[in-house]
Amino acid sequence: MSRAVKTIGATMRAAPHAHLAVLFRSIDRYREFAEAQDRLDDSNAAGHYAAQAKRCAFAAPVPSPALRRALEWRDGAIAGASAGPGIASSASRRAAIDEAVDDLRQRMRRLTAHEAAHQVLFERGVHPEGGRCPAWLAEGLACCFETERSIGDFGPGFDVPSRRERLERAMHGERLRPLAALVASGSRPRGGTEECLDWYSHSWGIVDWLATERPQALADYLGSLAKTTPWRAAVRIGEFEKAFGPITELERAWLEHWRPRVDERRCATQARRPAARTAT
């Protein structure tokens, strides 16, 4: 992370203390703790970072009831493998279960990377505390560090497929709000909604682009946040334009950057006539 932060010209303080995370075996215990200690009001959450307590909290990955039933079936099938020939015919079902388990693991890795990024970026002074740091910037930066791999490069400039695909769909469906609305807003939409998922992807797309195309301006903007109190929307827009220039011009350049990809996607998903059958 420190290498990735350097590439955008921002500075990261040495760790003032160990970064703390609390892990729960049970999702119910985690949610009880999150509500009581951090007033987290998100019934879908499986992990979060609490800036006031300077710690993360996570629940162990929990399979859905359907996946749990499927795992029980698979374990039973493996235990009885020597008993009969029906096992081979269920190979495709077992492959689908393995895929669902992988998907669950990958979602947990992305979540862990996202919350750990919040923790390190805030506790090491890359951006100031929540009230001073716009929500879209804090979340966009954390999304930039989402990765499913424990080795290899990640951070601004590296693709985050889940966010990119969501952003492309939102652009294609003309669901994106204007950049000025994103920058003026003081908080994110309600968690778990479609609007919220679009908002995260929009924030990721803007921050990732600023980090690669306007790194110096982004570093200056991050530095300026500690000195202002951007409570009003007009102040938030003003500070943004001071760093990046007129917001409509910046938005145009950002859209230009994305347009070819969205057009490619449109071509790729166009219905094709089925190929003529030449062999049986």
Find the shortest distance in angstroms from Cβ 222 to Zn ion.
17
Q: In the bound complex, what is the minimum distance in angstroms from residue 144's beta carbon to Zn ion?
A: 11
Judged by CB, which is closer to Zn ion: 142, or 183? 142
> Of the two residues 142 and 182, which places its CB atom closer to Zn ion in the complex?
142
Q: How far is CA 27 from CA 11, 21, 60, 136, 190, in A?
A: 36, 15, 7, 28, 21
Q: How far is CA 256 from CA 4, 71, 165, 209, in A?
A: 25, 46, 17, 11
| Burial class, 81, CB count within 10 angstroms (exposed 0-12 / middle 13-18 / buried 19+) | exposed
CB of 114 to Zn ion, least distance (A): 6
Which residues of this protein are in contact with Zn ion, per CB under 5 A?
139, 142
Q: Which two tokens stand for residue 228?
A: 């202002």
Q: How far is CA 140 from CA 7, 189, 198, 222, 265, in A?
A: 16, 14, 12, 13, 23
142 or 219: whose CB is closer to Zn ion? 142
Cα-to-chain-centroid distance, residue 20: 21
Residue of minimal Cβ distance to Zn ion: 142
Specify the residue, 57 or 250, whose C-beta has the smaller distance to Zn ion.
Answer: 57
Residue 46 Cβ vs Zn ion, minimum distance, rounded to whole Å: 13
Q: What is the DSSP letter of 275?
A: P
Q: How far is the CB of 269 from Zn ion (least distance, A)?
A: 29
Nearer to Zn ion, 142 or 250 (CB): 142
**Euclidean distance between the first and the last CA atom of the chain, given in angstroms as a whole number:** 54
